Amino acid sequence: MIKFEQVSKKYGKDIAVKDGNLSFEKGKIIGLLGPNGSGKSTSLKMIAGLVRPDKGKVTVDGEIASRKIARKVAYMTELDVFYDAFSVENMVKFYASQFGDFDKEKAEELLVFMKLEPSKKIKELSKGNRGRLKLVLALARQADYILLDEPFSGLDPMVRDSIVKGLLTFLDFGNQTIIIATHEIDEIESLLDEVVLIKNGNFMAHQNVEHIRESDGLSVKDWMIANLQE
């Protein structure tokens, strides 16, 4: 389980997360939703141990989230952090050397699925294919928790469709917990078990997707819009 307990984080005068209390149960696919700049990326970085809260604590299975938590948390950043001189194959080998749970066979299957050539230089990849490679590197890990930060950012609909199919095909449902931070809902709504809405650093709502559909009679997108307008 991932827990936020009275968590606050500021960058200068800007509040990224304010007095946040939240928990994510294992084996779920969770959408962390909100406008750009709402605190989604900072929340994921705190879970991944890349950013420390100014107040409160973030724990993963009872352990304070720090750099060491990378052994059980796979984090896909929104940023492009590849070594351009590497080939796709070199990048896979590098990740395999860094993470003990990296599954090379699964990575090879993902490369085929994503139609990525192992010998291709990363500097020669399109933005869409760089996005696919980031997903390959995250999903090839057998980590308990997978964090995806804006996996659809700037990608065309065909690439987004590939990413959703990759999630369906290569995730270990029930055993892995996946948190997807995004402001683009349409592509992933069918995947989600739960959604958390964050605005201006505040966790505004945490709801089961089936409850939203059956009790509220809303799509997740309409639910998000309605809550953001309150």
pLDDT tier at 207, thresholds 50, 70, 90: very high
The domain of 33 spans 2-228
**Which range (27-31, 117-121, 156-160) has the least confidence?**
156-160
Cα 226 to chain centroid distance, Å, stands at: 24
CATH of the domain at 167: 3.40.50.300
**Chain segment 107-128, per-residue pLDDT in tens:** 999 999 888 999 999 999 988 8
Give Cβ neighbours of residue 18 (< 8 Å, ≥ 6 apart): 8, 200, 201, 202
pLDDT tier at 19, thresholds 50, 70, 90: very high
Domain count, the chain: 1
Please report, in angstroms and rounded to a whole number, the separation of the first and last CA atoms in the chain: 30
What are the beta bridge partners of residue 4? 22, 58
pLDDT tier at 230, thresholds 50, 70, 90: low
Of 228, 219, 78, the C-alpha closest to 148 is 78
